[in-house]
Amino acid sequence: MTDLAAAVERVWPARSTRYEILGGGITNHNVKVELDGNAYVLRIAGKDTELLGIDRQVEFEATEAAAGLDVGPEVVRFVEPEGWLVTRFIAGSEIPVERMREPENLERVAHALIAVHAAGPVSGSFDSFRVVEHYVETALARGAREPSQYAWAHALAERIEAARSGADRCLCHNDLLNANFIDDGERIRIVDWEYAGMGDRFFDLANFAINHELDEHARSALLEAYFGVDREEESRALELMRFMSDFREAMWGVVQTAVSALDFDFAGYADEHFERLERTAAEPAFLAALAG
């Protein structure tokens, strides 16, 4: 584990600071640092996170882009060569999952994502179809076994990829867990841009939908808030990419079992997401979307 006192001293040498660890992170250490009446977040990159497809330069670029839209936190410093990120602390609160499903908050999330997806490009890409393949290769190279569900899920992913071929690419967050949303009292802000890259906007929409367990009615409301109307074409894309969101998450857990030294049940995490993607694959809406 990184010596947090030494890390804070590295960024603010010979300064009088107070700091505390912020909860919620698995792959990084997030530290709230206070000095001179200001509060910052020092994000200390975890060990070997490049094996998860994380590029700290791209995270920096994406966070800056989101900050310029008043969606992400203000970037104060990018610490090299470590790849640590210092942002201004956002005072606010998490929104409970059940409240995120309310129409008002679906509208707020949709408007934040519209702004992000319209932003300029960053230097990295995010392709969920290649990510799952990279994860299984990395896991196997480090002694892990291929999950029994992988071949079946990958075959479905190939069909989904064919259906999504030619999709427009835009800046996406790609990790829209509930913990990454903060209500600052005026707007919804989004933090933790380490998986950001140029990708398919429907991965973001589906990632939010599956992580917040939106039912069909709420998914329709999300699409209407984002596009102004819920059309069949967009609905099909959302259904398909819900599967890919959980496939990526399951394989993230698999690769973490092979590369992480943290005391966390990554195998159980992977199993949980494999079980959910199996349920998704059996839903009539998914089967209809897959049939085209």
- Do 176 and 282 fall into the same domain? yes
- Do 68 and 146 fall into the same domain? no
- Do 76 and 110 fall into the same domain? no
152 SS3 class: helix
Residue-level length of the chain? 292
pLDDT given for residue 239 in this prediction = 97
Residues 20-70 pLDDT 10s: 888 766 677 889 999 999 999 999 987 778 888 899 999 999 999 999 999
Question: Which CATH number is 67's domain given?
Answer: 3.30.200.20
Examine the fold and report which residue of 88, 108, 135 is the final residue of a domain before the chain moves on.
88
* Structural domains in the chain (count): 2
- Do 42 and 150 fall into the same domain? no
Closest to 130 (Cα-Cα) out of 248, 48, 210: 248
- Whether 45 and 3 have beta carbons less than 8 Å apart is answered as no
77: amino acid identity, one letter: R
**Looking at the predicted structure, is the pLDDT value of residue 167 above 70?**
yes
Examine the fold and report which residue of 41, 56, 88 is the final residue of a domain before the chain moves on.
88
Examine the fold and report which residue of 56, 88, 120 is the final residue of a domain before the chain moves on.
88
- Do 76 and 181 fall into the same domain? no
| Mean pLDDT across 154-174 | 97
pTM of the entire predicted model = 0.94
Q: How confident is the model at residue 1 (pLDDT cuts 50, 70, 90)?
A: very low
- Do 137 and 207 fall into the same domain? yes
- Whether 156 and 290 have beta carbons less than 8 Å apart is answered as yes
pLDDT given for residue 2 in this prediction = 54
- Do 145 and 58 fall into the same domain? no
- Do 14 and 59 fall into the same domain? yes
Dihedral class, residue 141 (left if φ above 0, else alpha if ψ from -120 to 50, else beta): alpha
- Do 136 and 169 fall into the same domain? yes
- Do 80 and 117 fall into the same domain? no
- Do 125 and 237 fall into the same domain? yes
Closest to 255 (Cα-Cα) out of 140, 128, 127: 140
Q: Is 285 exposed, middle or buried (0-12, 13-18, 19+ CB in 10 A)?
A: middle
Domain of 50, in residue numbers:
4-88
What phi, psi does 38 have (nearest 5°)?
Answer: -115, 155
Question: Which CATH number is 270's domain given?
Answer: 3.90.1200.10
12 SS3 class: coil
Which two tokens mark 142? 């480090």
